[in-house]
């Protein structure tokens, strides 16, 4: 991991979009069965005729096409809208802080795979091999990362790394009194289309989309990844987003999470993701594809993980009538979701479909308990995996209660 003083938003990458239908997934099982039968017949023929056969295509593996080609008409995944600020009905405009307000701090420029790791003992090492805080790490309970007990860390600041053969950037904020013998919660916060990692980290009262400001102790490490330039029908030029072309965004987060776990003492049972709009779409995607790593997600004005076509652009009442992609998820996550009924960018029905997707995956009851203050509905689901749905009458806007509710939702899962 290479540290930088600023994140460069100027790299240009083409946004590739093609059509994907659920038929592809429905046929995959049948195709695999045919290929298996072909291979078996070939093997039997070899035994009977006394000749050798090559498995050839009969053993060719199938890989699932990703939702980087998931745009149909006005559907959600690749064109959520141009978001350079997010307003709330109370308190005026609360958007992403300018990048120049963020100063990158930290002691030294180090690659996580270099010197900072080479001389450190593992968190589960014996007391004979480790001293000081490294020995203390042995007493930690739960699923702790390899970074526990290490005496040096890269520290707060802006960094770059290589993932899926591309340079990727992110911003991390580590508690000032960080102690490698203690486990820390890790929260990923994803910007929307046109946003940035530095803007998400922000300053003042809306750091990390307000979630930072809910923290009443130094229990959490925050990270804001940077999206790649993304083409959209709602912008005349590419803007940073999360198209996940060829799986490169998910690959980035996998690699980034691995580096962070190597560098810091992360509680692997307390890793979360949240984001606004395109960041909400990315949160849904990670909850599905990395459900074995993330404990919970909180998408705001997002969509997914399944793909639905909502048809009529800019009509917030358009229904998501056609399902064109079924996402195949791993693991299981708790989900907190909010969406506004007047949203013309990522339509309200997309939020409803997200709710339904997670309720189905978490085996939730159809009736929930409504919070009289926020209007959020909490559903009873598989133990430890609740789904909370917070509908509003807003447009493409985060409700004023979102940061507080998201923080409370994450923390509640730890009790």
Domain ranges of the chain: 2-12+67-412, 22-59
Bond into 305 cis (ω within 30): yes
- Give the chain's mean pLDDT: 75
Q: Are 240 and 228 in contact (CB under 8 A)?
A: yes
Per residue in 225-280, pLDDT tens?
Answer: 999 999 988 789 999 999 999 999 999 999 999 999 999 999 999 999 999 999 99
Dist CA 11 CA 20 (whole Å): 27
pLDDT at 123 exceeding the cut of 50: no
CATH classification (class only), 2-12+67-412? alpha beta
Element (H, E) at 32: helix 22-49
The pLDDT assigned to 316 comes to 78
Strand order in the sheet with 334-340: 2-4, 157-163, 166-173, 220-225, 184-190, 266-276, 296-300, 334-340, 387-392, 377-379, 368-370
Dist CA 261 CA 1 (whole Å): 13
Dist CA 25 CA 140 (whole Å): 43
Per residue in 126-177, pLDDT tens?
Answer: 333 334 434 333 343 457 899 999 988 889 999 999 999 999 999 999 999 9
């Amino acid at each position: 991991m290479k540290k930088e003083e600023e994140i460069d938003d100027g790299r240009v990458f083409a946004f590739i979009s093609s059509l994907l239908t659920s038929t592809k997934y429905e046929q995959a099982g049948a195709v695999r069965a045919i290929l298996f039968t072909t291979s078996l017949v070939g093997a039997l023929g070899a035994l009977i005729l006394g000749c050798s056969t090559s498995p050839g295509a009969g053993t060719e593996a199938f890989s699932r096409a990703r939702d980087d080609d998931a745009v149909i008409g006005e559907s959600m995944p690749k064109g959520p809208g141009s978001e350079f600020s997010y307003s709330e009905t109370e308190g005026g405009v609360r958007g992403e802080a300018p990048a120049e307000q963020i100063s990158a701090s930290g002691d030294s420029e180090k690659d996580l795979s270099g010197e900072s790791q080479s001389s450190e003992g593992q968190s589960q090492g014996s007391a004979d091999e480790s001293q000081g805080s490294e020995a203390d790490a042995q007493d930690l309970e739960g699923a702790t990362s390899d970074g526990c007990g290490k005496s040096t860390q890269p520290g707060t600041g802006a960094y770059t790394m290589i993932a899926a053969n591309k340079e990727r950037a992110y911003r991390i904020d580590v508690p000032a009194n960080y102690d490698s013998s203690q486990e820390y919660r890790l929260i990923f916060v994803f910007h929307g289309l046109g946003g940035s990692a530095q803007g998400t980290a922000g300053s003042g009262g809306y750091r990390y989309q307000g979630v930072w400001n809910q923290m009443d102790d130094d229990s959490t490490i925050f990270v804001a990844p940077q999206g790649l330039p993304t083409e959209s029908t709602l912008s005349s030029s590419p803007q940073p987003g999360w198209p996940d072309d060829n799986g490169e965004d998910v690959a980035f987060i996998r690699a980034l999470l691995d580096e962070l776990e190597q560098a810091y003492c992360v509680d692997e049972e307390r890793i979360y993701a949240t984001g606004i709009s395109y960041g909400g779409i990315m949160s849904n995607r990670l909850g599905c594809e990395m459900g074995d790593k993330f404990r919970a997600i909180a998408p705001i004005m997002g969509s997914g993980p399944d793909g639905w076509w909502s048809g009529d652009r800019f009509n917030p009442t358009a229904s998501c009538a056609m399902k064109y992609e079924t996402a195949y998820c791993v693991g299981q996550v708790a989900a907190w979701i909010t969406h506004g009924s007047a949203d013309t960018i990522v339509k309200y029905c997309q939020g409803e479909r997200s709710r339904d997707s997670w309720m189905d995956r978490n085996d939730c009851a159809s009736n929930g308990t409504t919070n009289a203050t926020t209007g959020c509905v909490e559903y009873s689901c598989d133990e430890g995996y609740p789904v909370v749905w917070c509908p509003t009458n807003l447009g493409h806007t985060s409700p004023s209660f979102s940061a507080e509710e998201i923080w409370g939702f994450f923390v509640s899962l730890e009790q």
